[in-house]
Every structure is written in structure tokens, then in C-alpha cells.
Amino acid sequence: MNFKLFFNVVPALFLMGCAGNGGASSTLAPYQNESLSLDERIEDALSRMTLEEKVAVLHAQSKFSSAGVPRLGIPELWCTDGPHGIRPEVLWDEWDQARWTNDSCTAFPALTCLAATWNPAMSALYGKSIGEEARYREKDVLLGPGVNIYRMPLNGRNFEYMGEDPYLSSRMVVPYVQEVQKNGVAACVKHFALNNQETNRQSVNVIVDDRALYEIYLPAFKAAVEEGGAWAVMGSYNKYRGQHCCHNQYLLNDILKGEWGFDGVVISDWGGAHDTKQAIENGLDLEFGSWTNGMNWGASNAYDNYYLAHPYLELLKRGEADQKTLDDKVRRVLRLIFRTAMNTHKPFGSLNSPEHLAAARRIAGEGMVLLKNDNGVLPLDPAKMKRLLVVGENAVKMMTVGGGSSSLKVRHECLPLEGIRTAVGETCDVIYERGYVGDLQTEFDGVMSGQDLSEKRSEEQLIADAVAAAKQADAVIFVGGLNKSKRQDCEGYDRDQYGLPYAQDRVIEALVAANPRLAVVLVSGNAVAMPWIEQVPAVVEAWFSGSEAGNALADVLFGKVNPSGKLPFTFPVRLEDNGAFVMGEFPGGDSVRYNESLFVGYRWHDAKAIKPLFAFGHGLSYTTFEVGNVKIDRPTLRDKGSLHVTADVTNTGDRAGAEVVQLYIGDEESTLPRPVKELKGFEKVMLEPGETKTVTFEITPEALRYYDDTADCWTAEAGKFTAFVGVASDDIRGSVDFTLE
């Protein structure tokens, strides 16, 4: 029995009573009447609530739920971790799973993979699918997506975000939010804001200039709120301007609720609130996890002792807290409840459906990035091989378990080795060698992979066995990278090193010396060093790809899917080529300074003329494309007009494929320092062999603006600009100049 549904519906039915001859609508209280406006319903419900009931809806009652108003038939809210899948049910006041047998989910690719599709249609498919799973599981708030900017490659939580560029993140987050919420499930966009490291995340104070804040770190959140219509936003753990971001006057009241007009709920990260007075005054609406610190300790009456629980109630009773602020918080929570838990028109949703698995596979395949492919090593043709060798622990290690709050319980995860063997069938023999030993842990918060990853062979023997097998193979696929363990790609920890762990470089170098037909597949959510890149002919970035990871990888390796992913962040050659590492501080101590300011990712590489290992926007295909004939329809842009840049893109190869045409704009005459160029448009174009299409980009003055921190406003200066059209930040195929008057 669905007890949540029972306890939510029965009180409401009781209040409605028997309709009789007058019809059901005549017995509805105004707040229950969905024909009335949302504001009318909120005000009616608010007028009926006691002081105690108002305070009760502002804080958690369990690890993932907050109270409704049982007396009025107003249901509670249930949250679930995302943003890659619906977390298994946990015990009422513990992180360990409740060991249900019907809470397995579809694991969708990590958001780095979604961003790498450079395709808003994939983001819409992702949001629709994960929203349906959340709805089926009776969840009201999906704790995702995450849109913090990829500042540098050591952040352990980068895999949960959408890359280094604010424009790309902004375009990709909006469809996700919109499609999730069509299911009557709130998207809770996180972590607001400046959560760019895990080290000291609960206490570090971020020091960043206003230009970088507004131009780099806030645009994706703004787009999610203003364009996506997000119903919830989660505050981050860290501090900004000396205040924790879960109750931060400038971020929450001045910007989010003030400048952006956000009408939804600000939810604390679990354990992110620290003070009752600040929580009251500085914008927090719904508190989770504070008394228990969100992790591992608490008290028998923990939830009553939350900062927005009895301490708030006592201040109200003593007249030391005002009713107006309280009612604003309650209105926001009621609005969220009416939009989600009390919405009788939302669809039923679905879980683990064939459509969801197909969506996960499609998104993963479209997001994988072909970084290098010399001599046409890929795609592999099993019909031309007798023996194919697969090497690497990541070919057989589950990647849906672990990593922090993104850990999932799936019905089945197709691993790379399985996907490869299924695709090859009986065509040729597929041999496996481990090559290296990474993390042997197979459990997280009670979710167990069921794998036995124990290994008796030494490092030297593992390499020797892999090399011996490579010499006998027609081709070799190495599947390595990072994993979801501590100090890899994992919440709560940052990486210790930029290089690959577990001596993988040794394995790769030995394999390519033994067999030059080597393809390296990296499973990760972060850039990594590649000291062997000149020797290895083919490299694929496969990301954490979810339930269908193995099938999606096989689709790409054997050419069923022509790769079209593009990097959403820069791969530097070495960590010292990253601006945040060189100019800024990482991870800092009590504070961390973003001295690199605007110059994040490709902006830094452009400004310092540093050649990246692989550039932002880079990604190859099994076909070839020509982009040219870049034109502009007028040389002058006026302050309220627009102009258009066009470019022709032609598939010059012999198979169908997709190219992402990218528009960057550079300001040639700026008063304040600006990047050499910034992404301002992109379009993914599918082309048959020999086909040509024309891509058109509209440029308005808004695309030329920057934040003037001396005047606290956005401005677009008159003068000369350049529009660059290319297929990566370091691969520009044409440019045109224009003037803003």
C-alpha cells in the first residue's frame, strides 16, 4: 500500500465530505478548489493555520520529508536526491536504505555527460524521464539539477554539474527544469551559490568579485529561475560575504528573491543552516538536516530543535520575530505543496520503463566525446577481428553506487565489458584483463553492488598479463579513468591529483607499446592528465553514463552511434595551466579567493595563450565537417535591434553525423577587462553525407553586455565586436566584425 498517498488523500476527502446534490465543489474550502488562483488558495490556507502549524511546515520531520497540515488535509512534502536518478528509500532518520524491494530506479548519465550533448532536446528528454520516475515514486521535490561552474579539475563534485561555461549551462538547465515540473515534481536547482569545492565545504568563505559572480557563477541559476520557472532552489554549504549561503542576505533576499523575483522555496542543503536569527531574516524557507548535521548525529527530538522549529516558535511567541517574515515563508511552502503534493492534475509517472532506459542510452551515446582518433582506429569492426581485448577495472565496476548523494540503486547496470560482449556477439572473442586495482568497496549507505572486486595478483603481474593478452589481440580497449570513491569523483572530497590513479598510466603505456591499435576509454566527471597522449591513437571520454553505460559505449565504439559530444569544460595539459590553480586559491583555508575572476576555463587559456590538452567545445566524429561562408547581415547593431550571423556546415564524409556549430563573441574596445571571446550561441546540426545546412545566430545587445561592478549594473559599450564561428573554442572556422552603436 502507498501510505503516503493514503495519508495525504484521506484527510482531504474527509474535509470535502459528501457532495450530495450540490456537487463536490460546493463543499470545498477555497484552498482546496483548484479552479481558484494559486494566490487565492494560499491566502485562504494561510488564514486557517495556527502559529504552530505555520512553523511546522518550515522544517523537516524526517531525513527527506517535511510536515504538511494534517488538520487541513494539506499533505507533507517528500524530497529525493537527484539529479541523475531517484535515490532509494532511506530509514526515517538515517541515511542507510530502508531495504525496499521496489525502489530501484533508472540511472541517467551524470550531468557532465548531459552537458556534453550540447543539445537542449536531450536535456528536455532527461528532465521528462527523471521527472516521471520521481512522480511514480511519489516524490514532490527532486534535489537537482546542479549548475555550479566547473572552476578547476580537482573538485570532487564536478561530475554533478554542467561544465565551465555559464551560457552552455544556462541553455541546458532550462529544459531539464521545465520537463521535470510538468510531472508535478519541483526541480530544486543547486547549490546556490559558489559551491566549487568539497574541501571545507561547510565553512569556507568564498571571496569573489562581483563581475565574476554575475557573469560566471550566477547565470545558470538565473536562467533556471526566470526561464525555467524553478519551484525550488537549494542553498550551498559554503559561505559568501561571511554568511552561510543557506541564509545569505545578498544571495537569497537581494538577488534571488529581489532581482530575479523568485516565488519558490529556498531549501537548505542538509545541515546547511547554522543560526535561527539568520535563517529567519536571510531568506531560508525550508530547513533540512541541521540538528543532525545532515550526516551522522542527532537527538531524540532532533527535528523540533531545528533552527526554524521550536527556536523560531519561541521567538515568535515572545514577539522577537515578525509575522510578516513568517507568513512569506509559509506562503512559499504552501505554493510548493499546491504545485506538487496537492496537485490532482499531475500525471502518474513511470519507473524503469523501456522508454527511460532508451532515453538513458541515447543521452549517454550522444554525450560521449571522441577526443582523438588517429589512423581511423575507431569505430572498431568486429567482423575484421578474431580477438578483442578489454582491459581495466572500470570495464567491470559499477559506477551507480557511491559518489555521495548521487549514489543510486538500479535494477541492472550494463557495464562496459557486458555492453561490448553483447554488441560483438559471436563475431569474435572478447578477452578481459583487469590491468589495475582501484577501490574494492562495493557498498554505500546500505546500497550494495554485489560485486567481488578482490584481486590476488600484484601490480606487476596485472600489467604483465594485460600486455601478454594485448600482443595476441587484434585491438585493445582500455576502460579506466576515475570512479565514485573518496578523493575521486565523490561528494565530500576533492581529488588529490590531476593524474590518473592506481598506476593506470603505466598500464596504458605498456598496452600501447604491445599493440598500437589501442583505444583508451575514460570514465570520469573530470579532466585528467594524459602523459601518454602522443602514443595512444584513440581516446573517448565516456563519463558516468548510468544504467545503460555499457550499451551506450558499445554503440559508440562500434559505430552504431556516430559520436557528436563536445567537451563542456577544458582539459588542461597540466594542473598548472588552470587559472584557478595558478591565480586563485584551492582549496584555501577558512577562505578561498577567486583571483582568476572571469577567467575560468577556456577564458584563461585564451587570455594567456595556453594550449589546452583538449579545448572546451572539442569533440570529433566518424565523419568530417566543413564550416565556412561566415556572414553577417548588417555591420551595425543598435541598442534595441538585432543582427544575424550565418554559417554553412557541410558533411564532407561518408556517414551521417552531427556537428555543433559554436558562436563566440569578443569585445575589441572594452573599458574593463573582458575575455578574448565568450560562448554566446550554439546549434547541433544533423547532416547526411554531402548535405549542407545553414546555421543562423541572432545577436542582440544583451549578448554583448558585461557586469560593471563600478556602477552595479549590466552594460553594453558601444564599439567594435567580433563574432567567431567554430567547432571548439580553439577551432574557429570564420569570423566577422560588427559595431554596436
- Residues designated as active site: 269
Q: What is the DSSP letter of 632?
A: E
User: 15-53 burial, b for 16+ CB within 10 Å, e for fewer?
Assistant: bbeeeeeeeeeeebeebbeeeeeeeebbbbbeeebeeeb
The span from the CA of 234 to the CA of 238, in Å, is 12
Q: Locate 578 and state its grid cell.
A: 588552470
Give me the amino acid identity at 423.
A
Which helix or strand (DSSP H or E) is residue 479 part of?
strand 475-481
Of 114, 64, 144, 150, whose CA–CA distance to 489 is shortest? 150
| Residue in 340, 323, 447, 328 with CA at minimum distance from that of residue 66 | 340
Contact 105, 408 (CB under 8 A): yes
Burial class of residue 425 (count of CB atoms within 10 Å of its CB; 0-12, 13-18, 19+): exposed
DSSP of 181-228, one letter per residue? HTTT-EEEEEEETT----TTTTTPEEE--HHHIIIIISHHHHHHHHTT
How far is it, in rounded angstroms, from Cα 221 to Cα 632? 31
Sort 652 into a burial class: Cβ within 10 Å, 0-12 / 13-18 / 19+.
Answer: middle
Amino acid at 253: N
CA distance 185 to 712: 36
Residue 426's identity, in one-letter code, is E
Residues 617, 117: Cα–Cα separation, whole Å: 10
β-sheet bridge partners, residue 721: 667, 738
Q: 3-state class of 308 per DSSP?
A: coil
Q: What angle do CA 687, 692, 696 make, to 5 degrees?
A: 95
Q: Do 84 and 111 contact (CB within 8 A), yes or no?
A: yes
Kindly state the helix (H) or strand (E) to which residue 609 belongs, with its residue range. Answer: none
> Rounded CA gap, 358 and 344, in Å?
29
Provide the CB-side half-sphere exposure for 656 (13 A, CA): 6
Q: Measured in whole angstroms, how far is the alpha carbon of residue 469 from the centre of its chain?
A: 38
Between CA 404 and CA 412, with CA 406 as vertex, the angle to 5 degrees is 115
- Evaluated on CA atoms 603, 608, 609, 614, the torsion sign reads negative
Q: Cell digits for 254?
A: 537581494
Compute the distance between CA of residue 428 and CA of residue 431 in angstroms, rounded to an integer.
10
Residue 684: how many other CB atoms lie within 10 Å: 18
Cα–Cα distance, 302 to 150 (Å, whole number): 35
Instruction: Output phi, psi for 114, to 5 deg.
Output: -60, -45
Q: Output the CA–CA distances (angstroms, integers) from residue 561 to 22, 117, 396, 590, 688, in the order listed.
A: 60, 13, 22, 47, 14
Amino acid at 507: V
The DSSP code sequence of 482-541 is --SSTTSS-TT---S-SS-STTHHHHHHHHHHH-S-EEEEEE-SS----TTTTT-SEEEE
